[in-house]
Structure formats: structure tokens, C-alpha cells
Amino acid sequence: MRLTIQSLYYTNESFRAAGCAFAPGKAGGTMKSKQQVVSEFRRAEILDAARTIFARRGFASATMDEVAREAGIAKGTTYLYFKSKVEVYRAVLDHDMKALSRSTLERMGAAASLKDKIYGFMLARLENADNRREFFKIMDAENGNLALTRRQYRDWLREPVLRLAAAIEEAAARGEIRALPAEKAAWAVVDMTRGTVQRRLLAQTHVPAEQDAQFLLEFVWPALTAPPTGKLITGSR
């Protein structure tokens, strides 16, 4: 369902999706002007249309004309917000990856135990890739001008990884798991999850995300709880 300007005024969900015209609950929060709200709505609409076109046509074949038609606006209007197709792509990816970071943190925050936090991290990312399957294939298929977005991958992951590392460190301090380099272990979870995401994208699997997340967890959890078999190599990733 496409956003409407009215929805930006009247629903908190739309406020979040379009960049927030109002920050409820914050001291000093104020309503933005109608012009600002319309501008945010238009930008969100372009990003939504671009995501659809990129997924349908691929980055190389997609054009700004198609993005404009999908958004229901004039082509010239798109250039008021974005200078090029590459800039639109980066904006879509930045928006989606930041949204994924927030949803991952929410899923982890709702979990009480370390095991559930790891499962929540894995499941949030697998489900997101399933929901945006065609668009995320572009990340692995394109290169050149899009290489910058790949280098941003670590930045987008930084906060969830640090949160996961902190949970691992706390569990080790309580004696629930063995002592090990927490951030290194967190990145190992990331790497395994990303590998599973890529396999699911390439294989067009119909296995539920929950099943693959549980399968991954069954590999990770014994490694965290088993006694060390030799000298532990420390150091950051």
C-alpha cells in the first residue's frame, strides 16, 4: 500500500517510515511544516518506487523515467531529491539497512537469554532478505559504482554487532558460556547468517526462515558452551 500525505499526519507508523514529521514523547517535539511533511512524503515515495523498479528490472536496466512513472510524478521531480540513479539506489539501500538494524535491535531487545538474542538476530536478517529477495540480489550482482554501499556494510551492522557482543560478554561473565573474544564471536554469527542469506537468495529455497535460523543456532550454541580444546587466540576482527 502506497503512502499518502494524510497518513503522514495521522499515523505514527507512517511518521517513522517517512523520516518522522513529529517526535512523540520527546521533550520539545514539534510538528513540522506542511511543506516539510510533503517533501519527506515525496522522498519516501520515490524510494518506494525505486525499490520496486530495481527489484523488477535490475539496477543496470532500470531508468529514472521508470522510477518517476512508478511514483506517479514527473521525471524532473525526482532530480529535485536525487542527482542520479546511483544516488537513489544508495538512498534505498541506506534506508533499508538502517531499518533492518532497528528491527534487529528490537528483536534482540525483546529476548531475555543470549540464546534467544542470537536466534532473534539471525531470524530478523533472514526474514528481511526473504521480504526483499529481488532487491537484495542486486547487492551481490552489481559492482563498480555500487561498491561504496558494500563498504558501508560494517557500519550498518556495527550497533547490532556491538549489542550482540555485549550480550555474549555478559553471559560469559555469568558463567553461562565459556570465555571467548565477544566481538569476534558476534562477527562469526554475522558471517554465518550472511552466508545463509546468500544461499537462500541463490537457491530460491522454500525452507522457512525460522527453520534455517534454528539450524544455524544449533551450530553456534555448542561452540559457545563447549569447553575450549586448546589455546584461545585473542584479538579483534
* Tally of domains in the chain: 2
Residues 6+ apart with CB under 8 A from 170: 114
**By residue range, what is the domain housing residue 38?**
1-25+32-82
Q: Is residue 234 part of a domain?
A: no
- Measured over the CA atoms of residue 223, residue 227, residue 229 and residue 233, the dihedral's sign is positive
* Burial environment of residue 100 by CB neighbours within 10 A (0 to 12, 13 to 18, 19 or more): buried
- 107 near 120, Cβ under 8 Å? yes
Same domain, 105 and 207: yes
**What distance lies between CA 233 and its chain's CA centroid?**
31
Which pTM was predicted? 0.74
Same domain, 43 and 148: no
Supply the pLDDT for residue 32.
72
Report the candidate in 102, 3, 101 with the shortest Cα–Cα distance to residue 43: 3
Same domain, 128 and 199: yes
Q: Is residue 235 part of a domain?
A: no
Q: Is residue 232 part of a domain?
A: no
pLDDT digits (tens, 9 = 90+) for 73-100: 999 999 999 999 989 988 988 888 888 9
Same domain, 66 and 122: no
pLDDT digits (tens, 9 = 90+) for 173-185: 999 999 999 999 9
Looking up residue 168, the CATH number of its domain turns out to be 1.10.357.10
Return d(Cα 185, Cα 165) in angstroms, integer. 7
